[in-house]
Chains A and B, each alone.
Chain A
């Protein structure tokens, strides 16, 4: 649920990185933090971790200003993937405007992916959101590892879903992270523009929205 306050002309959106434990959600966020150079970028807050594993969540705020002076913020969150932190996952997921599902490409992790996806569906339901109408991008991470499930096979499996085509990534090496994020921004824009008339009321068209929020550091400098 977007947090819109017309008096302050502010719109805050929430994007949640979801997925099984160790699939690379935090890595995605850390990469976005270092690779992105959006109009505005806050600090990456990595809350408690133990052995590199998220206990609470990570958060990165980014933002842009529209022609109307609209102060648009995007808060990017990761959830803890470990099964036992379900109540935290649910709390972080509540009021989400969009979800990036980070799956692990390794063949042995497919069951975990499925379980986590089921858990996402269930928790969305619990916090009053609908998986079919929520903007979402699905990323298969760790493509650099040997023994991953083939690209074509994965694409074919997901072909019939609203989330095709899948995004392939190697977050550790910064590959596919921004692409995934852009796909998400594209889907998110459709929903947000419909509700808040970003284009007509605030002069933010789809291209601006995506470009400004996902500008890569080098591109920006160039």
Chain B
């Protein structure tokens, strides 16, 4: 691109029409016609402008006439050139301003894009945080619910404990009374039958009472209402009471094999651990139910052992297993592969969070149709 200050050529200064007209006017003033051109003819006089020869003037009747005409042209050129210079400068600065505007525009666009990207990132971050908060809220809700259920259970257990205690001892005494009665009443067939039946009734009631007493004791262990947050826990005891409670819920045909190992006590949160064991056992029981043969032939293994990582708890079933495509999601809160209404799906999330809170690990191995094994590792600390 030419700059405004580049020396103008003859064509820059005058159009060919203007040049022709200038030639005519000059010729009219001179005795002989003169001509301005870019070529140097012999005898032509240089047309100087700003130390620059812009053209040559030839013709005329004498050198003097040529010089006079050239002077006049140079004089005119000066004004034409001034206009040209100013116009070119104006053009240059306008163009430069425009270019600058465009550059600013580009910069503005770029920064706008940056902000847009930032704001979408912000949206992602907000969504993420909202999910975290939702999750925390759910966990909180769930644990509050569990706590109140646990409190209720513990309260009920406490209330039942006394009457069941005196019921048991009363039934025992009543049994002795039946023996006494045998000595006292005449030994007839009818009396013997009556007293045998009486003794059976008292025996069954006594069995029932002791079953109630053991459920109450499991409930108390399970909810650990009278325990501080973190305390030394006997994992076997907690696991066992969870097993018993589950069996109470599912009936005795649920086959749970307990294989407790020798364990050190660990520092932990007893009711949360109980809840975790219960959830995992419950999942296992549901998996059996959903399996081919139902709970028939289904078996749950609840095993504990100790190794260098700490206490290891394995809960294994030979139920339906977890499909590959959903295995990744099993920890998502609310994710549940069970039919709607069968559970909230929070079980595994609660289990994972509890294990995390105990700085342990949880691992799930599953094969669809074969079963699932959940392994918890809890450091002894």
Which A residues are within 8 Å of any B CB, using their own CB?
14, 40-43, 45, 47-48, 56-57, 59, 61-63, 73, 75, 77, 87-88, 90-92, 94-95
Contacts and interface: CB of A to CB of B under 8 A. Distances in A.
Interface stretch (B90-98, B118-126, B340-348): B90-98
Given A57-B89, A61-B50, 4 more contacts: A47-B82, A47-B86, A88-B93, A91-B92
A11 B85 CA distance: 20
Contacts of A57: 89
B185 interface: no
Given A63-B51, A73-B51, A91-B96, A43 B78 contact: yes
Contacts of A59: 5, 85
A42 B7 CA distance: 13
A91 B78 contact: no
Contacts of A77: 5
Contact of A45 (B85, B96, B97): B85
A73 B51 CA distance: 8
Contacts of A47: 82, 85-86
A48 B50 CA distance: 18
A91 B85 CA distance: 12
A48 B86 contact: yes
Chain A residues touching B, majority SS: mixed
Interface string B285-318: 0000000000000000000000000000000000
Contacts of B5: 14, 59, 75, 77, 95
B82 A95 contact: no
Nearest to A12: B7
A42 B51 contact: yes
Interface band, chain B: 10 to 19
A95 B3 contact: yes
A61 B50 CA distance: 6
Nearest to B94: A87
Contacts of B334: none
Contacts of A62: 51
Interface string B79-105: 001100110010011001100000000
Nearest to A3: B6
Q: Which of A43, A57, A92, A94 has most chain B Cβ within 10 Å?
A: A43
Given A14-B5, A48-B86, A42 B50 contact: yes
B51 A91 contact: no
A91 to B, nearest CB: 5
B151 to A, nearest CB: 76
Contacts of B86: 47-48, 56
B181 to A, nearest CB: 119
Q: Which of A40, A57, A75, A87 has most chain B Cβ within 10 Å?
A: A87
15 contacts: A14-B5, A42-B49, A45-B50, A45-B78, A47-B86, A48-B86, A56-B86, A56-B89, A62-B51, A63-B51, A87-B93, A88-B89, A91-B89, A94-B3, A95-B5
Contacts of A91: 4, 89, 92-93, 96
B73 to A, nearest CB: 14
A41 B51 CA distance: 7
